[in-house]
Structure 1
Amino acid sequence: MSTTVTTRTSLRTSARRLTPGVLTAILGAAAALVTTQLTRVSSMLVAIILGAILANTRALPLRTAPGIGFVAKRILRVGVALLGLQLVVGDILGLGLGMVGAIVVVVVVGIGATLLIGRWLGIGLTQRLLIACGFSICGAAAVAAADGVIDADESEAASAVGLVVLFGTLMIPIVPLAGRLLGMPDHEIGLWAGGSIHEVAQVVAAGGAIGGGALTVAVLVKLGRVLLLAPVLAVVSLWMRRRTDVTRSSSRSSRPPIVPLFVAAFLALALLRSTGVVPTGVVDVVHVAQTVTLTMAMFALGCGVRLAALRRGGVRPLILAALSTAVVAATALLGVTLLGTA
């Protein structure tokens, strides 16, 4: 009986501690979603910016910190898992084996080059991994998902998210304009946008600007990169386990799992959707839940974007972000040119 009473007391205490921050994240997400309806700007992008503004104007009480941290970690993982139900493997394979191969090359080269360049710049491993995953796979969601595997410093995750927003947004007009200057047809520019731009929402914006049916192929290529989130995080987790074993004698419970639960759920839902048995109505409902949870999480991550911390971090992460963007864009352009019609 005493154990039950203690458990209930602990749960009530945790709920009271988390409630202010969780409610703040809900309100932030609601404001972002309303803004999206009025402006058509991505709710996740709005949420990140809104969170960053509140954090840097000191408008957030200290008592919100535990709940906001909970949303940035736990709720984010729910949103990433639900993202899997939006993927249909058959649609991605319909791009052709050449383009599928190009997607894999973009992710592998992007991550590998970012890690190497970051090492040359003297940037720590965890921050390099966050930037590599965010810029090579699917933006802020990949940063947060990778953070769930490697447990990086909060300021590193916030910095990586801020860089994704900055450089991904810059790519929205750059890719269509550069594609026109290179004389590429709309279809190929769409493939390039999907292979090079960081966030799904940013890809949608660029694809819509290109026109001529580019939006559909741009989103499919981007979703192909998203699908690689699960295997990449499994590899990263296994790598971190081995590093943990080598660098210190730790208990088995302290080692990260080979495949984190939320990554397994993401992959399982993607495979389930690909079978065609999930009703459209269920997919639509889950899409709403995924949008809300990820918007809440992006608001929480935005609250961790401290301009003072970014300034203290120096220019090296900014240089890495710029070079990573260039590598991913160049690799995607080469892949579209050589393999896009294969």
Structure 2
Amino acid sequence: MMFRPASTFPLRLARRGAEVLPGLALTVPIAIVATLIGTVVPVLGSALPAIVIGVVAAVIRRPGARFQPGVEYSGKFLLQVAVVLLGAQLSLDAILRVGAESLPVMLSTLAVCLLGTWVIGRALRVPQRLRTLIGVGTGICGASAIAAVSPVIGALSAEVSYAVSTIFVFNILAVVLFPLLGHALGMDPHTFGLLAGTAVNDTSSVVAAAGVFGAAALGYAVVVKLVRTLMIIPISIGLSVIESRRSAEGRRMTLRGAIGLVPWFLVGFLAVAVIGSLGVIPPGPREAMVHASGFLIATAMAGIGLSTDVAALRRAGWRPLVLGAILWILVTATALAVIALTGFGY
């Protein structure tokens, strides 16, 4: 293996910066606008507005070759950095305590969602990568899970755009319907927090739904949601192994090979979560990391939107949306059933 001399690093860094700067000059302003929109309308978040603005801009005039390196850099590398910084939201104490309480509901809903993705997605003839993105987005944590898994399975920009948009539709419905459902079933705040944290996708929508139900439900719902985010790690590792076996034409997977498949950004995600749990990261920098993660996700979504093949979205048709609807109903029904069977909150 050949190593480049360290003395050339500044020159290489300058060249890379000059290469990606034009594209970043497109994606960063879009991310700023999307973040402002998400601040004014929290239920929207910043990921969806960034993708929508990017797609609209691409329809009007798709970025030329000069902008492509920076657009791709935003949609890939910055996306991976954002996933690493997501780990700052978690603490080991919260993971252990809330994880123990919510594990039956969390694992049940994830298992049902993944099984439904495979069976129903195949029956609806939804393309494999797209159904995987919709499945992990519904079963784990919306746009964040889609962001983490998309580079693992080599998803196309059009597939990421469609998956994020599909998940968003049901986030909006959840904000409206879940508080009504919780009150109708006579749930206490703790129980509703568990339901919202396991059955609503993006964090912004979990916050909105729990906030509508009552302030007492909010804290628990958010912690459940963040613990649920950890499911990104085993799912991504499993998908890495599956993708490797598929591309390796049936060659036997060794332990060393499996370890090598773990994406660097998922290792970084877990490392940041552990470091944060040890109290090494002060509250100010931790909050800055969380905000930086959200902004980088918006920047990445802008890059994905700008490189979206709109014709491919049209070809996807209605089937992915139907898959998303069925999975969302399955996850909600499973969460309610397990909560009732375990007597949680009663």
Query: Aligning the two structures, in what range does the TM-score lie when normalised by the shorter sequence?
Result: 0.7 to 0.9
Q: Report the secondary structure of 1:122's partner residue.
A: coil
Distance (Å, rounded) in 2 between the aligned partners of 1:314 and 1:119 = 15
Which residue in 1 is equivalent to 2:268?
Answer: 265
Which residue in 2 is equivalent to 1:20?
Answer: 22
- Residues 212-223 of structure 1 correspond to what in structure 2 (within 5 A)? 212-223=215-226
Does residue 1:198 correspond to 2:231, yes or no? no
- Residues 278-289 of structure 1 correspond to what in structure 2 (within 5 A)? 278-289=281-292
Distance (Å, rounded) in 1 between the aligned partners of 2:99 and 2:143 = 28
Q: CA-atom RMSD, angstroms?
A: 2.9
Does residue 1:73 correspond to 2:82, yes or no? no
With the length of structure 2 as denominator, give the TM-score of the two structures.
0.86
Alignment check: 8 A CA contact 1:48 1:301 kept: yes
Shift of 1:172: 1.4
Alignment check: 8 A CA contact 1:168 1:198 kept: yes
Shift of 1:137: 0.9
Residue-by-residue CA offset, 1:27-70 (whole Å, 9 max, x unaligned): 11111223344444523333233323333343756643332221
Which residue in 2 is equivalent to 1:164?
Answer: 167
Distance (Å, rounded) in 1 between the aligned partners of 2:271 and 2:7 = 37
Alignment check: 8 A CA contact 1:92 1:100 kept: no
Does residue 1:54 correspond to 2:61, yes or no? no
Which residue in 2 is equivalent to 1:29?
Answer: 31
Moved more, 120-129 or 137-146: 120-129
The one-letter code sitting in structure 1 at the alignment partner of 2:98 is L
Which residue in 1 is equivalent to 2:94?
Answer: 91
Return closer, same or farther for 1:37/1:198 CA change in 2, 3 Å cut-off: closer
Task: Specify every segment of 5 or more residues in structure 2 that has no aligned partner in the other structure, as ranges.
Answer: none
Return closer, same or farther for 1:201/1:107 CA change in 2, 3 Å cut-off: same
The one-letter code sitting in structure 2 at the alignment partner of 1:27 is P
Moved more, 96-105 or 207-216: 96-105
Distance (Å, rounded) in 2 between the aligned partners of 1:273 and 1:3 = 34
Task: Specify every segment of 5 or more residues in structure 1 that has no aligned partner in the other structure, as ranges.
Answer: none
The one-letter code sitting in structure 2 at the alignment partner of 1:29 is A
Which residue in 2 is equivalent to 1:303?
Answer: 306
The one-letter code sitting in structure 1 at the alignment partner of 2:20 is L
Residue-by-residue CA offset, 1:189-219 (whole Å, 9 max, x unaligned): 2221111111111111111111141111111
Distance (Å, rounded) in 1 between the aligned partners of 2:302 and 2:173 = 21
User: Number of residue pairs matched?
Assistant: 337
With the length of structure 1 as denominator, give the TM-score of the two structures.
0.87
Q: Report the secondary structure of 1:277's partner residue.
A: coil
Matched-pair identity in %: 35
Return closer, same or farther for 1:158/1:38 CA change in 2, 3 Å cut-off: closer
